[in-house]
Amino acid sequence: MAPLPGSAAAPTKRQLQQIEVLLRQHVTTLSSEEYGGREPGTPGETLTLRYLARQWFDIGLESGTNDPGNAWFAPVELVERVPQGSRAQFMHGKRRVALPEGGSFVVTSGLRSLIENAPLVYVGTNAGGDGARTELAGRVAVILDSEAPPPEPAKPGGAASRPVDRAGKLLESGASAVLTVLDGNRSLEDVLARRRRAGYALAGEKLGGDIEVFLSADAANQMLAASGAPTIASLHAAGAAPGFSAKPLGINGSFEATNRETRIKTHNLIGKLEGRRPGSGAVVLMAHWDHFGKCAEPPAEKLICPGAVDNASGLSVITEVARQLSAGKPLERDVYFVATTGEELGLLGAMAFAENPPLPLGNVVAAFNVDSSGLVPAGLPVSVVGQGMTPLDAGIAKVLKAMKRKLATGDAANAFARRQDSWALMQHDVPSVMVSTSYSDPARLEAFMKDIYHRPADEAARVVYGGMVDDVLIQTELVRFFADTKAWPDSRPAAGAK
């Protein structure tokens, strides 16, 4: 088979060994105790970004922010909000309905949200929509957790199914608040464990003042009994009856929730390898640099999550891809290297990159994310997280075939599609996937997720470097292919085209 345009000769054994030595150096440094778990807004961030920027500059990259005022480091401001206050009160006419202590929890995405004396209406299995606005406006939509609809089906291409956000849809449809009666598998303790955690968003993102109320089944039955309303069981039966319409409960509710807010100033690191043909498009290679910092409490022996696999490994891979490309024949298209912040907090750095990009996103012909390499030895099949979701599949398959690498069968890896940074770019119509050997061995992946993932045990000593070297070679050839205008012609509409 003839080599692909721009492809390099197969590396020698010595060259492979040199790549592994450098990968070990990067992972060991970035996951060291000195870096403190690479938490955004801490000294660990400063050490991480200085180390990477120095490596990228020495390799031959230039700043890719395209912002003279912020060379290399693109500012990202995050908002952390932690639930602080919660109050729920119910009235039947002029009489207050007493509830058991600790039977309710109120949460908001805003700093403070208050609703007073709003009528409660049971909406059955209604999941919102334009037709619900009349019956929901100014009211509190009451839903039963046991009536949660089945998860949304997987999309073509194999993206994992996900639960329906019924509360979110009802709020969008005009409900003043949504009250969920926890009569199903979830307990109030389960909700508290999840919803009392800090929530994060980009500082410029609109944070609404919506209110969600959670009520234990015992508290709900006591409230209904005190007001003469039907029981939970009779509500469920009514909701299942043909022709059901929203049922007022004769109870009004007042709810208040507050959050404590902290601003976190952090950064994406952006480097660029300039191409020979400006204006012909660009390729993006990205990996998140952040982790959790301190993630355990005494008497645990180890308190820091070093994040060696997740994601010192990905940073190391894209750094060595940059070295390979910089030392080779100049590419036609620009290549941007992006180390994102806030991935562990909700893909926030990738979202910031997409919302304030250093180049028009329409100029990106392909983007590749690298996350959690270093799980498998050399020679395993290659998985594509995002297979079937972008136009990149044919080009990826062509590259792997030329490299004599086997493409993993099936789409099991797509279960991780929404859990990594390329998903944020995909939401902005950027063709973006993750190509990796790490997702081709389900047993190793499951063991990592069960015992090591997001724990102090994710340390450099556990990293497997054979697969990382493979990932360097694969990412290098992918970038070379998609940066070649003949191998991958620009499919963007011409300027002025309609």
Residue 289 burial class via C-beta count within 10 angstroms: exposed 0-12, middle 13-18, buried 19 and up: buried
Domains of the chain, residue spans:
13-60+274-482, 80-261
Pairing status of strand 282-288 against strand 364-369: parallel
Q: Which residue has the tokens 């961030």?
A: 45
The CA distance from 174 to 123, in Å, is 13
Same fold, 13-60+274-482 and 80-261: no
CATH architecture assigned to 80-261: 3-Layer(bba) Sandwich (3.50)
Mind listing the pLDDT tens digit for each residue in 305-332? 999 999 999 999 999 999 999 999 999 9
Q: Which pLDDT score is estimated for 491?
A: 64
Q: What is the rounded average pLDDT of the residues 437-453?
A: 93
Specify the pTM. Answer: 0.87
Q: Which pLDDT score is estimated for 154?
A: 45
CATH topology of domain 13-60+274-482: Aminopeptidase (3.40.630)
**Per-residue b/e over 128-141, b at no fewer than 16 CB within 10 Å?**
beeebeebbeebbb
In percent, how much of the chain has pLDDT > 70?
92
> Do residues 40 and 264 make contact, with C-beta atoms less than 8 angstroms apart?
yes
The CA distance from 58 to 39, in Å, is 25
Decide if pLDDT at 156 tops 80: no
Q: What is the rounded average pLDDT of the residues 145-164?
A: 64
The CA distance from 282 to 367, in Å, is 9
Decide if pLDDT at 352 tops 70: yes
The CA distance from 430 to 103, in Å, is 45
Mind listing the pLDDT tens digit for each residue in 82-107? 999 999 999 999 999 988 889 999 99
Q: Which pLDDT score is estimated for 155?
A: 45
Decide if pLDDT at 159 tops 50: no
Q: Which pLDDT score is estimated for 160?
A: 47
Residue 339: name the closest of 23, 21, 20, 55 by CA: 55
Considering only residues 430 and 135, tell me which one the structure prediction assigns the higher pLDDT.
430
The CA distance from 21 to 455, in Å, is 25
Mind listing the pLDDT tens digit for each residue in 367-409? 999 999 999 999 999 999 999 999 999 999 999 999 999 999 8
